[in-house]
Structure 1
Amino acid sequence: MIYNYYFAVASKNFLINQEPLEEILRERTQHYKSKNQEIDFWFVTNPQFINVLEKYKNYSKISNSLAFIISLDQQFILWLKLRIGFVDIGTFQSQSIFIPDSK
């Protein structure tokens, strides 16, 4: 099976310190729980997969300062782009379900 992932990326500092990201993700989690829906998004810093994303190869040198919100839900990522504004969005495919690094 091929999974389509969608993501929003920005500097870790911007997402953590300048945007109410914690509140946004907490509200999204509560929304999912109220609908008995499985969580299908993750907040990831220092991602290893950035090295395989062609568009972001130049970012690999600064990947320790980037943060990603990854989701299976394209509409959620598009909404984040509208809500937060200063993020880049993209997509990638994988044959496995995304499991964030526990480092």
Structure 2
Amino acid sequence: MQTYYYVLASQKFLMEEEPLEEVFRERIRDYHEKEKEIDFWQVPQPAFLEAPELASIKVKCPQPAAAIISTNSHFITWLKLRLEFVATGEFQAPSDTIPQPLASLAPSSTQDS
């Protein structure tokens, strides 16, 4: 199992109001230069929130929610400091309650990186 870290906020805040495109573009450029594999994803309506162990987190977040998920805890900590008004956490996957860590409940969605 892998540990995934996340920042979570309303979809409107995380995908519309916050100018994250430049952050992602710069990080992707840096990763390519270092020949490092991408380890973060933007997920609208993340399915991991349906896991029973995350029910208390889901009720605190305005819906529909969005998440930035990463295997890099330092990146998530940095995002938390930059964004301020987001929830953070972690989960283990794949598991019985979270079979696909990057899955989205949004219709016809794709994960952006």
Q: TM-score normalised to the size of structure 2?
A: 0.76
Name stretches of at least 5 consecutive residues in structure 2 with no aligned partner. none
Partner of 2:70: 71
Greater fraction of residues in helix: 1
Change (3 A) 1:3 1:97: farther
Question: Are 2:56 and 1:55 aligned?
Answer: yes
**In structure 2, distance between residues paired with 1:67 and 1:97:** 16
Which aligned runs of 4 or more in structure 1 are off by greater than 6 angstroms? none
48-57 or 2-11: bigger deviation: 48-57
Question: Are 2:30 and 1:28 aligned?
Answer: no
93-102 or 21-30: bigger deviation: 93-102
Query: Residue by residue, what CA displacement relative to the aligned partner does 1:48-82 show, whole Å, maximum 9, x if unpaired?
Result: 2211124324269x64x111000000000000001
Question: Are 2:90 and 1:91 aligned?
Answer: yes
Change (3 A) 1:90 1:42: same
Instruction: Give the length in aligned residue pairs.
Output: 100
CA RMSD of aligned residues (A): 2.1
Q: TM-score normalised to the size of structure 1?
A: 0.83
**In structure 2, distance between residues paired with 1:39 and 1:16:** 19
**In structure 1, distance between residues paired with 2:100 and 2:66:** 19
Percent identity between the aligned chains? 43
Name stretches of at least 5 consecutive residues in structure 1 with no aligned partner. none
